[in-house]
Amino acid sequence: KIVVIDFGSKHNQLITRTIRELGVYSELHPHTVTGEELKSMQAVGVIISGGEEENVYNIDSSVLDLGIPVLGIDSGAQFILKHFGGSSELPANFSTIETDSTGDNVKEKLRHFVENICEAEASWSMKTFIEIEVEKIRSQVGDRKVLCALSGGVDSSVVAALIHRAIGDQLTCIFVDHGLLRKGEVESVVDTFSNQFHMNFIKVDARKRFLDKLTGVTDPEQKRKIIGNEFIYVFDEESAKLEGIDFLAQGTIYADIIESGTATKEVIKSHHNVGGLPEDMDFELIEPLKALFKDEVRAVGAELGLPSEIVHRQPFPGPGLGVRVLGEITEEKLAIVREADWILREEIAKAGLDREIWQYFAILPDIRSVGVRNEKRSYDYAVGLRAVHSVDGMTADWARIPWDILEKISNRITSEVEHVNRVVYDITGKPPGTIEWE
Ligand code: XMP
């Protein structure tokens, strides 16, 4: 493997990802990694990837004495020079690989380093990943049992499919239907995991329970808390009914565990993940996706035979439609947002934009306004449409959906969804907006 040491560059994840695209396994580690650790990881090459400014980090100098090739980028290269004498003439046995900043060129230089200098074996593919993980899971679990909280999202779905491939019926999945999913999702999850994969699959119908708890609650943070906590209670209760479970499978992925660069992420909303389970549960954790980037997770899912609607599912907040119905959540409002969202999804797919737009959905603000329908005054809801381009959800730009498609969506929503007489399109970026409205 090739280890990329985070020395402050913004591009570290991209570099790691690019090396994997070359078929060579690569991991990103903090600058505190030691030579000893690199040795035990059997690294065949190291990249010290710094930013353009001089930085304050230090690296365990034994990293440079392992006898494996080291590539320094920007301040990473400065660090190496300083270590070997501090002058701008190159020490013996050194060479420069100059890069300019165009993407292709960087990829070629990385290829040269990885293939020719490190002579790293190109054995990384999603097929081999699955083979290796299946063996690992089998030997870790033996004849014991694993539990998985399935949300229908990409990560938990792929984890379930992978573990099922490894140990079949020793896996049980619990799927909590909290009544806050989009139209068709419950059916799709049940169909995939129960009917097609024939998993031990428990669907808990907790719709009423969630709605009861949410009655009268309008504060967004409070709504998130209630949904998050209720999920834990329901999951706890269900898992307590099962016997002899030793392991809990989780869909942790690489992005969840790497603290990249120096970016500090300010928490603007409490992203309380449904599926975020309490830490004191009495299970050993299995997290087979924790080395994978999101697109690799999708590729594994496709390789395991999951349907494309799950593999390419757009990001969806844990509290689901709970954050898309503004103000108090009621059955009627949920039905409206579900139908409007369905129409939006249909039309975006028909227009061939479904893979192009990162996330798109309908919102129901707590607003009613006057309109006319069949020559009569109406006093009904406005529906908001949101569609954004983004890379990681931290920033976003609103999607320039062609007018005629927006027109069609608006016409369909106002004529097909009861109690809606107005459709608005959100043209705010993030910042200053957020992607969701709550
Ligand atoms: P915001 O609204 O903060 O959303 O700009 C950024 C991205 O995160 C998703 N999101 C959530 N995801 N649990 C999640 O797992 C949450 O509570 C949650 N809230 C927002 C949102 O859909 C967008 O993709």
Q: What is the pLDDT of residues 387-438, one digit of tens each?
A: 999 988 889 999 999 999 999 999 999 999 999 999 999 999 999 999 999 9
The confidence band for 263, taking pLDDT boundaries of 50, 70 and 90, is very low
Which of 360, 436, 438 gets mutated to test ligand 1 (max ligand atoms within 8 A of its CB)? Answer: 436
pLDDT reading at 96 higher than 60: yes
Give the pLDDT score at 321: 98
Angle of the 103-111 helix axis to the 12-21 helix axis, nearest 10: 60
Q: Which pLDDT belongs to residue 92?
A: 67
Rounded to the nearest angstrom, the distance between the alpha carbon of 371 and the centre of ligand 1 is 32
* Contact partners, residue 266, CB within 8 Å, separation at least 6: none
Q: Is 192 helix (H, G, I), strand (E, B) or coil?
A: helix
User: Does the interface predicted TM-score (ipTM) exceed 0.85?
Assistant: yes
Per-residue model confidence (pLDDT) at position 270: 40
Q: Residue 276 pLDDT more than 60?
A: no
d(CA 351, CA 412): 15
The model's confidence at residue 2, banded by pLDDT at 50, 70 and 90, is: very high
State residue 280's pLDDT score.
Answer: 64
Encoding tokens for residue 150? 């399935």
Residue found under tokens 């106002």: 414
Size (the chain), residues? 438
Digit-coded pLDDT (tens) for 12-21: 888 999 999 9
The model carries a pTM of: 0.87
Q: Is the pLDDT of residue 93 over 80?
A: no
Question: What is the model's pLDDT at position 55?
Answer: 67
| Cα dihedral 298, 249, 438, 176 sign | positive
SS3 305: coil
- 76 labeled binding residue: no
CA 129 to chain centre: 19
Looking at residue 256, what is its pLDDT? Answer: 77
What is d(CA 171, CA 190) in angstroms, rounded to the nearest whole number?
16
Instruction: Please provide the average confidence, as pLDDT, over all residues in the chain.
Output: 91
CA 279 – CA 96 distance, rounded (Å): 48
Q: Do residues 416 and 339 touch, judged by C-beta distance below 8 A?
A: yes
**Annotation-wise, does 352 bind a ligand?**
no
Q: What is the dihedral of CA 25, 31, 35, 39, to 10 degrees?
A: -20
Classify 349 as helix, strand or coil: helix
**What angle (nearest 5°) sits at the alpha carbon of residue 406, between those of residues 401 and 412?**
150
Contact predicate 4/19, CB 8 Å: yes
- Residues of the chain with pLDDT > 90, as a percent, come to 77
Cα–Cα dist 384/360, whole Å: 11
User: Are the beta carbons of 146 and 117 closer than 8 angstroms?
Assistant: no
Q: Which residue has the higher pLDDT, 105 or 44?
A: 44
Cβ–ligand 1 contact at 355 (below 6 Å):
no
Q: Which domains does the chain have, with CATH numbers?
A: 2-117 (3.40.50.880), 126-311 (3.40.50.620), 324-425 (3.30.300.10)
In this predicted structure, the answer to whether residue 264 has a pLDDT above a threshold of 50 is no
Residues 202, 205, 207: CA angle, nearest 5 degrees: 150
Ligand 1, atom 9: closest residue by C-alpha: 317
Mean pLDDT of 59-69: 92
Any ligand 1 atom below 6 A from CB of 174: no
- pLDDT, mean of residues 172-199: 97
**Sign of the torsion angle spanned by Cα atoms 258, 263, 264, 269:** negative
Q: Could you tell which of 156, 256, 267, 269 is best to mutate to test the pocket of ligand 1, judged by most ligand atoms within 8 Å of the CB?
A: 269
Is residue 261 very low, low, confident or very high in pLDDT (cuts 50, 70, 90)? very low
Average confidence (pLDDT) over 155-168: 98
Does the Cβ of 434 fall within 6 Å of ligand 1?
Answer: yes
Q: Which two tokens stand for residue 196?
A: 């097609």
User: What's the pLDDT at 269?
Assistant: 40
Q: What is the pLDDT of residue 104?
A: 67
Measured in angstroms, how far is the CA atom of residue 273 from the centroid of ligand 1? 9
Q: Which long-range contacts (CB under 8 A, 24 or more apart) does 258-261 make?
A: 258/13, 258/28, 259/30, 260/6, 260/12, 260/13, 260/28, 261/6, 261/8, 261/9, 261/10, 261/12, 261/51
Residue range 125-151: mean pLDDT, rounded:
97
Model pLDDT, residue 255:
80
